[in-house]
Structure 1
């Protein structure tokens, strides 16, 4: 017996008709009838009682029907797994990354992933947290790096890295060399901050509101190089993740007191199973967790 015969058997049993079974499989009714007849001949069993307007499965047919459904399901799963294996050769992954991580943390990790799976196409979207959340909700991204404490109920995440948020000053600033500064000290300075829509900005606004302080914002920009240039020239101070200035010899990180840490996670939609390719990327990222 072959899978085609078993599929016809299931269709006839479920529809009670050779004609309806043929329509389900887009074949002629004679093809279904002949396949069932050959199956009965091979097994030397009667599988259906042919009545005038209805076909009724026999007790022997019921036994085979259970096996047929299991075998067809196993065949479908095998095809799905083979398709997923092919996806690791020629599939696509779509991930959203916040600007700072995209510039300073992820490039070497993504290159290592590409080296492991050279056939995969990697689509990277850099944006603010709110934009990434919207793209995840719309199904435009499969994975995103987000603030763990900020995940909506429809997303699930696993912690990837903990990073410190620090004040950033230039060489001539009096805070250079300080072990820590308070939030009121920070908000009293001329500031360069991200625009609204970025978690980094919204978090600083929240801290200022909790302290009853109105920040003195001199520059608003989503361009990290502009933030750094403003700080170098002494026009303002800013706040970035510590990783963002590790390679800048003329910029200095000053911790907050108490310290501010952000837990970043790799997130995916709770009710939307990831493809094998996206699971491979998620698992690879978690191997690198800090």
Structure 2
């Protein structure tokens, strides 16, 4: 090393052999399950998406997608790479949109009440980015049921709720603002006869073993949504464990209807879980901000609410 040079200066850094564009096309294909749908969403030709993903697979040396008649799904390695691709794209987007975020210099306390699904599958990455940009903000996060979150907001024990707003029980006292919607889809094993269906009518599920995820009022809400379409779940398992539900579905022991927010294509034991759209128009799950109507947000609460509104994509798996 030359005298006066900084440690590591001059050391070679190997540039990646793929582009952000290739990652974007790959992530879009994984999201929509069809190359054609991804191309329409991006606004380019289907052949351009196909070529970009094939080039990416050649660069990496392994397939990222399984191709079949009804579309594409992630391979096991593709699922692992997808997680890294998402982080790279999010970092690039953040670098473009938030270069001076730290200069806002917010300080104070923020009390958040959030439900199980919101804490476990939505909020934490955004909260981490916000706190990195505003290190003087102190956060108190409480995981509660939706009614408990509402009670905490009404009693002044929480500044902001982040909950499933489609279930809001006190609309006269609480103000809500949607952040994201996620489609509810059918989860099945990869050897299910329903794999051949492009979309599945709810009546087709009558008699099949059904699994209820017992968090965030899952059973009550789902029953209310599907009853008008003549579907009465044949319940064989009720569980609060997301991994137990995934394992059960992956083993082919039942089916379930859950929002895309919590979807992962593999169980802990490596069993593949597939999704199919429902033919019947049940509403999506909606996550949003909730606060007390007669209590204006303070600077810190408004700052975090604004950050979420600008950072969160409008939809998760809606097409």
TM-score range normalised by the length of the shorter chain: 0.5 to 0.7
Q: Distance in 2 between matches of 1:105 and 1:156?
A: 21
Q: 2:276 aligns with which of 254, 263, 267?
A: 254
Compared CA separation, residues 211 and 157, structure 1 to 2 (3 A): same
* Pairwise CA RMSD: 2.5
Q: Distance in 2 between matches of 1:134 and 1:256?
A: 34
1:270 is displaced (CA, Å) by 0.5
Q: Which residue does 1:116 correspond to in 2?
A: 133
Q: Which residue does 2:198 correspond to in 1?
A: 179
Secondary structure of the structure 1 residue equivalent to 2:110: strand
Compared CA separation, residues 129 and 207, structure 1 to 2 (3 A): same
Q: Distance in 1 between matches of 2:206 and 2:303?
A: 43
**Is 2:120 aligned against 1:97?**
no
**Is 2:247 aligned against 1:229?**
yes
1:236 is displaced (CA, Å) by 1.6
Secondary structure of the structure 2 residue equivalent to 1:256: coil
Higher mean C-alpha deviation, range 239-248 or range 266-275: 239-248
Q: Which residue does 1:150 correspond to in 2?
A: 167
Q: Which residue does 1:25 correspond to in 2?
A: none
1:131 is displaced (CA, Å) by 3.3
Q: Which aligned pairs between 1:169-248 and structure 2 lie closer than 5 A?
A: 169-176=188-195, 178-195=197-214, 198-246=216-264, 248=266
Compared CA separation, residues 182 and 154, structure 1 to 2 (3 A): same
1:148 is displaced (CA, Å) by 3.6
1:213 is displaced (CA, Å) by 4.4
Contact 1:156–1:269 under 8 Å retained in 2:
yes
Compared CA separation, residues 185 and 272, structure 1 to 2 (3 A): same
Give the helix-richer structure, 1 or 2. 1
1:247 is displaced (CA, Å) by 5.3
Secondary structure of the structure 2 residue equivalent to 1:96: strand
Compared CA separation, residues 250 and 153, structure 1 to 2 (3 A): same
In structure 1, stretches of 5+ residues that fail to align are 1-86
Deviations 1:231-276 (A, max 9, x none): 1122221222113224538211111113432332211110122222
Secondary structure of the structure 2 residue equivalent to 1:253: strand
Q: Which residue does 2:52 correspond to in 1?
A: none
Q: Distance in 2 between matches of 1:254 and 1:98?
A: 26
Q: Distance in 2 between matches of 1:103 and 1:177?
A: 32
Q: Distance in 2 between matches of 1:107 and 1:247?
A: 21
Q: Distance in 1 between matches of 2:135 and 2:204?
A: 49
Q: Distance in 2 between matches of 1:285 and 1:154?
A: 22
Contact 1:159–1:265 under 8 Å retained in 2:
yes
Q: TM-score, normalised by structure 2?
A: 0.57
In structure 2, stretches of 5+ residues that fail to align are 1-104, 315-319
**Is 2:301 aligned against 1:278?**
yes
Compared CA separation, residues 227 and 137, structure 1 to 2 (3 A): farther
1:127 is displaced (CA, Å) by 3.6
Contact 1:242–1:253 under 8 Å retained in 2:
no
Secondary structure of the structure 2 residue equivalent to 1:176: helix
**Is 2:290 aligned against 1:267?**
yes
